[in-house]
Amino acid sequence: MSRLWARFAGLFSSKSFIGVDKTGNKYFSRMEEIDGFGEYLKEKRWVKFRREEDPTSIPVEWICWLNGQRKRAPTPEEMIELEARRERVKLNVALLKKEEEEKKARVGTGRKITIGKVDGPDLTSFVRQFPPDSKGGEPEEASEEADKSRAKEHEPEIVSAEPPEPKTTEPSGSGSSFRPGTWQPPS
């Protein structure tokens, strides 16, 4: 009786059954009037899930149809071809992983893992970059210069008698005496 009633009600509804995927989700579409006069129609597409609503259970080809990226719904033959292609890709991925593991096992790992104390870096190539010392006094001279520069850092600054230039926003001067102005946002 309920099937008979569903068929009778289906005659008056505008929704149409489009297809079903391998998990049992059913897809429908309906034409809706946008302006109320029947002049502009828009197709509305939706899915009824077989079990609980799980958007990840929808195949890619049906997602494209629901979003409007496909004009026609996928056919059962097309779905079988796509499923076979997905299986081939999975097998190829597994085969490539296996080949990669075998290759790593044959070659061995490039890095040596050591546990415990590790030797320091080899600095011989770094030291060769510097010319040999011809005089024994050079390092002391360098350290004297470093001491002088440190002493200068700690000396108080001498303030000049000239007043500091006022900061202006307008450019001034010309040629080599040109000083650009500073940009100020409009207020």
**β-strand partners of 27:** 19, 47
Q: Is 182 exposed, middle or buried (CB count within 10 Å of its CB: 0-12, 13-18, 19+)?
A: exposed
37 part of a folded domain? yes
175 part of a folded domain? no
Whole-model pTM over 0.95: no
35 part of a folded domain? yes
Write the DSSP symbol of residue 37: S
Amino acid symbol at 136: G
Instruction: Return the ∠ at Cα 9 (arms to 7 and 11), rounded to 5°.
Output: 75
88 part of a folded domain? no
Give the pLDDT confidence score for residue 53 in this predicted structure. Answer: 83
60 part of a folded domain? yes
Give the pLDDT confidence score for residue 150 in this predicted structure. Answer: 60
User: What is the total count of domains within the chain?
Assistant: 1
92 part of a folded domain? no
Q: What is the pLDDT of residues 123-172, one digit of tens each?
A: 777 787 787 765 554 555 555 665 665 655 555 555 555 555 555 578 88
Give the pLDDT confidence score for residue 123 in this predicted structure. Answer: 78
- Could you say which residues of the chain have pLDDT below 70? 1-13, 38, 109-118, 133-168
Q: Is 75 exposed, middle or buried (CB count within 10 Å of its CB: 0-12, 13-18, 19+)?
A: exposed
* Residue-range definition of the domain harbouring residue 68: 15-74
**Which position has the token pair 């809706």?**
32
